[in-house]
Amino acid sequence: MLIREYHAGEELALREVFHSSVHQLAAGHYRPDQLAAWAPQTFDKEAWARGVRTSCPFVAEEAGRIVGYGDLQASGYIDHLYVAGWHARRGVGSALIQHICSVAQRRGIPELTSDVSLCAESLFARHGFSVVERRTVVLGGVEIANARMCRKDPCGEARARGLPPRAVPRGMSVLMTPPLALYVHFPWCVRKCPYCDFNSYTLNGELPLEPYVQRLGRDLAAQAPQVAGRAVTSVFFGGGTPSLFSPDAIGRVLDSARRHLTLAHDLEVTLEANPGAVERGAFREYRAAGVTRVSLGAQSFDQARLSALGRIHSPADTRLAAAELHAADLGNFNLDLMYGLPGQELAAAVRDVQEALSLAPAHLSHYQLTLEPGTVFAAQPPPLPDDDAAAGMLAACAERLLAAGYGQYEVSAYARAGRQCRHNLNYWTFGDYLGAGAGAHGKLTFPERAQIVRTVQLREPRRYLAATDDALARRVIAARELPFEFMLNALRLTGGFDAQMFPARTGLDWQEIAAPMQAAITRGLIVRTATGYRPSELGLRFLNDVLLGFMSETPKFAGSSALSIGVSGARSGASRPLFTGPGSVIGE
């Protein structure tokens, strides 16, 4: 969500928001005649436009559409604050109030007041406003009840008492609630690959399907109160090998999510699948269970390379799985490919990409094999192409992908127009996500507490299955870590990020990163865009160097790292040239 200043020409769009807000959100608190007097169907367009231009409101925009607005007068009076009825319960009102309070602090306004409708009292109260007077106003000859509410700005109070700036809570005043996703981890594989450092385990014996599905339901129920009223925009079933679980089991997990959480009507649901661990015809059943997108771990179309990687599937398995995905109307699927494989030459890497393109995926993730600590490959390294050879493979493969109409939108991700992975985009833009399942990580933002919290579940499946609902570990991210964490994600995007996203997603002032940002620009590693910043071509190649400029201290990579952002994403061992923690999300 973007909070920005109103632009000329948007007056009627704001009227649409105002009308839907009154007639949909206030309907439970006022009579029809009161609603009609408050927001009549017919109105003077010129007078409305003049009023908007005079108040110069702040606008909340999401996906290019205005979903709310609010204003702030020089006196500290908030005359308007409305959320579109079609976009309710998504944090828009809170985001606008937080932005207005932040602006008031910067302007030195010591007190905010507003005449608040009955339906918005609780919203204002959550942000420190108190009722000072019950009132009625007369609109169109009809009396309408409201309340005069007031909030004293904490910075204004501190200044009035002569306290030093350090005594005033700082740095989190503009924190806003970002979009929310759900990651669900399935830790078992038929066989653990020698390059894999993810939280995955070779399945010995019978799959504990029923106990695990039930435990996931309790996990979701326990975490749901933290995100009450927030809509989940995407779900990612990652692993491990989620496709070891039947379509019925996946459907029941989705049912639990619907029961305990609010799911968006256009929910993206991705299932990771191993071509060698999916029953024939199962994709049609997964789609019926609610899956809308599949990420298929192809890795290579060369049987010798697959054998060297310890994969259980064959190239023929991948081709058959892709055909079944198309037949099941699941054409929105991703193929994972790796390059820089043992004994691989440039021509073979390019052939893999051409084979993948022949299967017409909507999305392709392309990673370099790296040797991760704690893996079999790290202990017994296979012969790999040198850095120059790997760089040549990347360049040649990227050229083929771009020529075929797959745009690169992230360091290792290519997609057809409109087919970018929504779930992973939420990670890269420092969005929130619940993490359920053994070893799953989460990130949650609490603007009212000025906190961003990371969560992690118990890693070992048996311990997770036996644990109580309070086993989830939580850690508040220190403000000094936030610039690095934000940039670690946002600078993976080739298009970069909007400048307003940094304060909105971290709660920090832009000045916290102004110096390292300018240094990176001077070195040619970051370039300005119309609304923000993006890594240059040189910056993408040397992203570690860019990120070092935003680091407050040496990162720690052991345990549940502060830099770890989940366990979904790339097949472990795929290219992760950037700073990551164990189980980090990098791609698919």
Q: Each residue of 162-209: pLDDT tens digit?
A: 333 333 334 344 688 888 999 999 999 999 888 888 888 889 999 999
Task: Choose the CATH number for 2-167 among 3.40.50.11540, 1.10.730.10, 3.40.630.30, 1.10.10.10.
Answer: 3.40.630.30
Strands 262-273 and 293-299: parallel
Residue 64, SS3 per DSSP: coil
The β-bridge partners of 271 are: 237, 294
Position 153 scores a pLDDT of 57
Write the CB contacts of 537 (distance below 8 Å, at least 6 apart in sequence).
Answer: none
CB environment 202-227: b (16+ within 10 A), e (fewer): ebeeeeebeebbebbbebbebbbebb
Please tell me the predicted confidence (pLDDT) of residue 478.
94
**Averaged confidence pLDDT in the chain:** 86
- Give the model's pLDDT for residue 327: 96
Instruction: Give me the pLDDT at residue 224, please.
Output: 95
Provide CATH 1.10.10 ranges for the chain.
Answer: 483-561
Residue ranges matching CATH 3.20.20.70 in the chain:
180-426
Instruction: Report pLDDT for 553.
Output: 60
Question: Which phi and psi angles does 418 have, rounded to 5°?
Answer: 80, 5
Tokens of 267: 């929910």
Residue 216 has pLDDT above 90, yes or no: yes
Predicted confidence (pLDDT) at residue 568 exceeds the cutoff of 50: no
User: Which of 35-39, 131-135, 258-262 has the least mean pLDDT?
Assistant: 131-135
Residue type, 5: E
Region at 281 (left for phi over 0; alpha for psi -120 to 50; beta for the rest)? left
CATH 3.40.630.30 boundaries in the chain: 2-167
pLDDT in tens, 428-481: 999 999 999 999 999 999 987 889 999 999 999 999 999 988 889 999 999 999
- Find out if CATH 1.10.10 is the number for domain 483-561: yes
- pTM for the whole structure: 0.71
Question: Quick one: how far is CA 282 from the chain centroid?
Answer: 29
* CA separation for the pair 458, 456 (Å, rounded): 7
- Report the run of H or E that residue 285 belongs to, with start and end: helix 282-289
Quick one: fold of 180-426?
Answer: TIM Barrel (3.20.20)
Helix (H) or strand (E) holding 259: helix 247-260
Statement: residue 427 has pLDDT above 80: yes
Encoding tokens for residue 491?
């600078």
Contact 434, 180 (CB under 8 A): yes
Q: What backbone torsions phi and psi does residue 148 show, to the nearest 5 degrees?
A: -80, 120
Question: What per-residue confidence (pLDDT) applies to 171?
Answer: 39
Measured CA distances, 247 to 201, 234, 297, 367 (Å): 21, 18, 18, 29
The percent of residues in the chain predicted with pLDDT above 70, rounded, is 90
Question: What number is the average pLDDT over the span 335-359?
Answer: 96
pLDDT band at 571 (very low <50, low <70, confident <90, very high): very low
* Residue where the block lists tokens 């306004």: 109
pLDDT reported for residue 102: 81
**Highest mean pLDDT, choosing among 24-28, 162-166, 411-415, 556-560:** 411-415
In whole angstroms, what is the distance from residue 486 CA to residue 483 CA?
Answer: 5
CB environment 349-365: b (16+ within 10 A), e (fewer)? bbbbbebbbebebbbbb
Q: Taking residues 251-263, what's their average pLDDT?
A: 95
From residue 26, how far is each of 34, 69, 136, 218, 381 by CA, in Å?
A: 10, 16, 16, 35, 65
Report the C-alpha gap between 299 and 247 in whole angstroms: 24
Beta strands 231-239 and 262-273 are: parallel
The H or E element spanning position 239 is strand 231-239
